[in-house]
Structure 1
Amino acid sequence: MTERTVMAVPVTAVQLAPMVRDAITRLNRRVRQTRPVGDLTATQINALTSIELAGAVTPRELADVERVQPPTMTKIIAKLEERGLVQRSPHPTDGRQVILATTDAGRAMLGQFERARDEWLASRLAELRPEERDTLRRAAEILRELARA
């Protein structure tokens, strides 16, 4: 990492917002690019992650979460199901719908992606000085609080 000078110039929330948003966006993009070699697309990984986070979800709910049209989500689900990463089960109250859930293989795949991302980020964080890592630890706590609001 290059030497940085930290300026103690107060900034307003309006000035800070685009700086934080840009930094989070860039870091998120870089972390998302880090994954084991495989043939899953970023869209498929995102859908699989959303299913896992939800625990169980209908295809329509998944399309809404991922902000894609239902026919597009149908294709994504078919690919994930073909790979054995998700499974369908009958909806408990609506016989016309199904519930999607990740399989053990799907959870294992997500674990591989998570480990690859953590390893990349840990290697970058190891390049920082201890005080910089401590600053990031505190920033992570603050960002987590912001995300709850």
Structure 2
Amino acid sequence: MSASALRAAYEIRVVAGRLRRRLKETYDNEELTPTQTSVLSRLSKDGPASTSDLAAAERVRPQSMAATLGVLDERGLIQRRPDPDDGRRQLISLSESGTAYVDDKRRAGEGWLAKSLESGFTEEERQTIIEAMALLDRLAHT
């Protein structure tokens, strides 16, 4: 393994973690847990899912996911409807409030990023970041 590959792997992991934490600091999480926030994000991105599908995706027990969904339901962030293919299952999706919540949080994070990039980096540096993101996206798809 080359030294540059090892260093790049380390740097990507460290910087991605720092950015993720910093983005979470940019908005009020309304006292949601990381799992609750992740479920909302997943539903926004992937669409409706069953409790067991969400539990598998989040790598938690179905009972834990049921508790997570209970809180989100109480806050009006999700809605449940029968699965048209299997009446014994329910599909969970974002409610209008849940969609607005996720959209607001994304805008807050992107706003912080854009403002920080505008004030702290030159145009040339921003172009370098854009090029690096294309490379990281390629990495994510390997």
After superposition, give the CA deviation of every residue in 1:110-135 in whole Å (9 maximum; x if it has no partner). Answer: 01101111111112212112211111
Partner of 2:49: 57
Query: What is the CA distance between 1:61 and its match in structure 2?
Result: 0.7
What are structure 2's unaligned runs of at least 5 residues?
Answer: none
Name the CA distance, whole Å, in 1 between partners of 2:46 and 2:123.
Answer: 36
Partners in 1 of 2:24 and 2:66 — Cα distance? Answer: 23
Instruction: Give the whole-Å Cα distance in 1 for the aligned partners of 2:18 and 2:128.
Output: 19
Partner of 1:31: 23
Distance in structure 2 (CA, Å) of the matches to 1:37 and 1:144: 27
Report the residue type matching 2:141 in the other structure: R
**1:11 offset after TM fit, Å?**
5.4
> Counterpart of 1:72?
64
Give the partner amino acid of 1:142. Answer: L
The secondary structure found in structure 2 opposite 1:84 is: coil
2:94 paired residue among 102, 105, 119:
102
Pairs within 5 Å for 1:1-149: 12-36=4-28, 38-126=30-118, 127-149=120-142
For residue 101 of structure 1, report the CA deviation from its aligned partner.
0.8
Q: Deviations over 1:81-135 (max 9, x none)?
A: 1111111111122222111111111110001101111111112212112211111
Task: Give the TM-score normalised by the residue count of structure 1.
Answer: 0.85
**CA–CA distance in structure 2, aligned partners of residues 147 and 53 of structure 1:** 17
Moved over 3 A (4+): none
- Check the 8 A contact 1:51/1:101 in 2, yes or no: yes
Greater relative contact order (Cα < 8 A, sep 6+): 1
SS of equivalent residue, structure 1 residue 97: strand
Q: Which has the larger radius of gyration?
A: 1
What one-letter code is carried by the residue in structure 2 that aligns with 1:135? T
1:36 touches 1:116 (CA, 8 Å); kept in 2? no
Higher helix share: 2
Could you tell me which amino acid in structure 1 is paired with residue 60 of structure 2? V
How many residue pairs match? The answer is 140
Cα distance, 1:115–1:16 mapped onto 2, change above 3 Å: same
